């Protein structure tokens, strides 16, 4: 039987987000103020999602697991602390690059260091997410039904503002298969107001190919474009 995968949606989105940030950090011309600003803006959104996701796991997923299996969440929570400490340093470095660039400084050397540090962080983060899916997910399946896991996701969605959901969509939806997109947006269509649903569709229109977007429109019987 196919079980609900707690980590599938957010982790796919975060892997996509970090990959985009890593790619942009590698090709940015750090003597060009507009390119540094573009990198900074993307980094702000990516690091925001990383922080939110860790808090969501600590406060909902792992907190619920701890009730049934005391000590089972300790490793992941410690990982989150270490990851956050590294992330804070990256955020500070990126802000420094941005501020220096606004003063028309060439930050190429510091940009190269940021890119290398980001690459190291990216590798560790991928290892962390894979471990959660291989080790923590089976524990969640052991102690919770799919209905209970769905309720955890509901709690997470309820604690985050609508603006955050729009940022998630930018990275999550392109990283999903067509069937997964349909499943996610069918649920979103049922719970969202028509205006908010239109907003979500407009966001993902910018990050999907024309074919992907058209296929989703057809599947959702959605005609506004």
Q: Which pLDDT does position 159 carry in this prediction?
A: 87
Q: Is residue 219 part of a domain?
A: yes
80 burial (CB, 10 Å; 0-12 / 13-18 / 19+) is buried
Q: Is 154 found in the same domain as 187? A: no
Q: Which pLDDT does position 219 carry in this prediction?
A: 95
Q: Which pLDDT does position 160 carry in this prediction?
A: 86
Q: Is 183 found in the same domain as 145? A: no
Q: Is residue 169 part of a domain?
A: no
Count of structural domains within the chain: 2
Q: Is 116 found in the same domain as 155? A: yes
Q: Is 180 found in the same domain as 148? A: no
Q: Is 184 found in the same domain as 143? A: no
Q: Is 121 found in the same domain as 68? A: yes
Q: Is residue 2 part of a domain?
A: no
Q: Is 157 found in the same domain as 187? A: no
Q: Is residue 171 part of a domain?
A: no
Domain at 93, CATH number: 1.20.120.520
Q: Which pLDDT does position 223 carry in this prediction?
A: 74
DSSP string, 33-63: HHHHHHHHHHHHHHHHHHHHHHHHIIIIIHH
End of a domain among 161, 186, 214? Answer: 161
End of a domain among 138, 161, 184? Answer: 161
| Cβ atoms 77, 69 nearer than 8 A | no
Is the sign of the CA dihedral 4, 202, 204, 158 positive or negative? negative
End of a domain among 107, 130, 161? Answer: 161
Q: Is residue 14 part of a domain?
A: yes
Instruction: Give residue-wise pLDDT tens across range 102-126.
Output: 999 999 999 999 999 999 999 999 9
Q: Is residue 3 part of a domain?
A: no
Could you list the pLDDT tens digit for every one of the 225 residues in the chain?
Answer: 789 999 999 999 999 999 999 999 999 999 999 999 999 999 999 999 999 999 999 999 999 999 999 999 999 999 999 999 999 999 999 999 999 999 999 999 999 999 999 999 999 999 999 999 999 999 999 999 999 999 999 999 888 899 999 999 999 999 999 999 999 999 999 989 999 999 999 999 999 999 999 999 999 998 764
Q: Is 97 found in the same domain as 135? A: yes
Q: Is residue 167 part of a domain?
A: no
| Cβ atoms 130, 164 nearer than 8 A | no
Q: Which pLDDT does position 158 carry in this prediction?
A: 87
Q: Which domain holds residue 211?
A: 176-225
End-to-end, the C-alpha distance of the chain in Å comes to 37
Q: Is 122 found in the same domain as 221? A: no
Q: Is 213 found in the same domain as 149? A: no
């Amino acid at each position: 039987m196919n079980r609900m995968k707690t980590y599938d949606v957010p982790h796919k989105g975060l892997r996509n987000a970090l990959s985009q940030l890593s790619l942009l950090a590698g090709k940015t011309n750090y003597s060009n103020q507009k390119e540094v600003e573009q990198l900074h803006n993307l980094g702000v959104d990516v690091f925001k999602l990383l922080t939110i996701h860790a808090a969501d796991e600590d406060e909902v997923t792992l907190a619920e697991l701890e009730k049934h299996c005391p000590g089972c969440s300790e490793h992941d929570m410690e990982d989150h602390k270490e990851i956050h400490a590294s992330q804070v340093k990256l955020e500070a470095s990126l802000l420094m690059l941005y501020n220096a660039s606004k003063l028309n400084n060439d930050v190429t050397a510091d940009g190269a260091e940021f890119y290398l540090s980001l690459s190291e962080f990216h590798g560790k983060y991928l290892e962390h997410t894979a471990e959660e899916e291989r080790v923590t997910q089976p524990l969640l399946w052991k102690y919770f039904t799919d209905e209970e896991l769905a309720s955890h996701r509901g709690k997470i969605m309820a604690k985050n503002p609508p603006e955050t959901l729009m940022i998630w969509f930018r990275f999550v939806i392109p990283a999903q298969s067509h069937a997964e997109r349909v499943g996610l947006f069918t649920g979103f269509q049922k719970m969202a107001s028509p205006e908010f649903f239109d907003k979500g569709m407009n966001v993902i229109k910018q990050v999907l190919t024309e074919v992907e977007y058209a296929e989703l429109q057809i599947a959702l019987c959605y005609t506004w474009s």
